A = this chain, B = another copy of it.
Amino acid sequence: MVVIIDQTKLPNEVVWVELKNTSDVASAIKEMKVRGAPLIGVTAAYGLGLVAFHSKSEKREDLLKELEKAAEVLRKTRPTAVNLFWAIDRVMKRARETSGGKEELAEAVVAEARRMADEDVEVNRKMGKFGAQLIEDGDTVLTHCNAGSLATVDYGTALGVVRAALEEGKNVKVIASETRPKLQGARLTCYELMRDGIPVTLITDTMVGYVMSKGLVDKVVVGADRVVRDAVLNKIGTYNVAVLAMEHGIPFYVAAPTSTMDSSRTSEEAVIEERSPIEVTNVRSERIAPEGVKVLNPAFDITPLEYVDAVITEKGILYPEVLLKFAEK
């Protein structure tokens, strides 16, 4: 059994949910009860772990077939965050390469999922250390959406950079943009920073330019759902923030583990998930637009690398020169 916090209920309620099988895991990802590229990846890995753990197959080949089937279901949950596919591929590769019978295979799959969860925290801490070099004492960091402990197994990517800077004794404050339609900034980033005693100020997405023009923002740090050869795909509204940051000469950093990198694609080849209109016409149970209004609801946008000052990874900081090489691959 895998236990998650239902993030759609935060910050009003902290509700723990038990995921018992592939279908539970797939629904939790689709409905954004778990979200954030790294957490989606690890949750999917545990989804395969659940199959292996509960399997009644007696033969290795039968379990492998079960896993392949579950992998197909999990792959279809959300199209944009590449960590989902990376995590599924990694577990399946491990399964196929494990010798022995059904038991050995099942153990290997569960162990791999556990290893990925542990690694995620380690990767975030490394990323945080590198990223903290870019943060100065007294900085106010604007972040969009939630790339924190709630988007990962723990510690966070963008917020991991903030945490690492604080651990080094630097004073750092955060401005969180609320991130409509799903309000991850208001609901999740504010929640986890307040819980940890990190100073945070909430703004609506319409205030990003205003706070920058008033000199209230020193750096922008965001996460990523997929870094392709020429761009960063991240939560809708990231591109607005990037353009505004450049206009105000504010450094724009992306914190993303190498598992988020996809050098096989350009932004034109990446899929942007279009979600239900109800996310735009309603805020939770409140209807805020006329019945029947036409709506767009892309969940992600594309920030060309020219707007990105650096990508912070667990292996080091990639500056424009290197990013460009990545783009030319």
A binding-site residues for B, Cβ under 8 Å: 11-12, 178-181, 183, 186-187, 190-191, 194, 199-211, 213, 235-237, 239-240, 243-244, 247, 280-281, 283-290, 292-298, 301-302
Residues of B within 8 A of A297 (CB): 204
Known: A191-B290, A289-B178, A296-B201. A206 touches B243 (CB 8 A): no
A206 near B179 with CB under 8 A, answer yes
B290 near A239 with CB under 8 A, answer no
Name the residue on B nearest A185 (C-beta): B289
Name the residue on B nearest A191 (C-beta): B290
**Oligomer: number of copies:** 2
A244 near B236 with CB under 8 A, answer no
Residues of B within 8 A of A289 (CB): 11, 178, 183, 186-187, 190, 202
B281 near A284 with CB under 8 A, answer no
A186 near B288 with CB under 8 A, answer yes
Residues of B within 8 A of A206 (CB): 179-181, 205, 235-237, 240, 301
B202 near A180 with CB under 8 A, answer no
Residues of B within 8 A of A287 (CB): 12
Least CB distance, A189 to chain B, in whole angstroms? 10
A202 near B295 with CB under 8 A, answer yes
CA distance A295 to B247 in the complex (A): 24
Residues of B within 8 A of A213 (CB): 239, 301-302
Name the residue on B nearest A247 (C-beta): B243
**Central interface residue in A207, A295, A302, by most chain B CB within 10 Å:** A207
Residues of B within 8 A of A199 (CB): 294
CA distance A307 to B206 in the complex (A): 17
CA distance A290 to B41 in the complex (A): 27
Residues of B within 8 A of A243 (CB): 209, 243-244, 247
Residues of B within 8 A of A180 (CB): 178, 180, 204-206
- Identify A292's interface contact among B194, B247, B302, CB under 8 A: B194
CA distance A190 to B295 in the complex (A): 10
- Identify A283's interface contact among B190, B205, B286, CB under 8 A: B286
B285 near A208 with CB under 8 A, answer no
> Besides A183-B288, A202-B295, A283-B288, 10 other CB < 8 A contacts?
A178-B289, A187-B288, A194-B292, A194-B293, A199-B294, A202-B294, A207-B301, A210-B236, A210-B302, A286-B286
CA distance A295 to B74 in the complex (A): 38
27 contacts between A and B (CB under 8 A): A179-B206, A180-B204, A181-B204, A183-B289, A194-B293, A201-B293, A201-B295, A201-B296, A202-B281, A202-B293, A202-B294, A202-B296, A203-B295, A203-B296, A204-B237, A206-B240, A207-B236, A207-B298, A207-B301, A209-B243, A210-B239, A210-B301, A213-B302, A240-B240, A240-B244, A283-B286, A283-B288
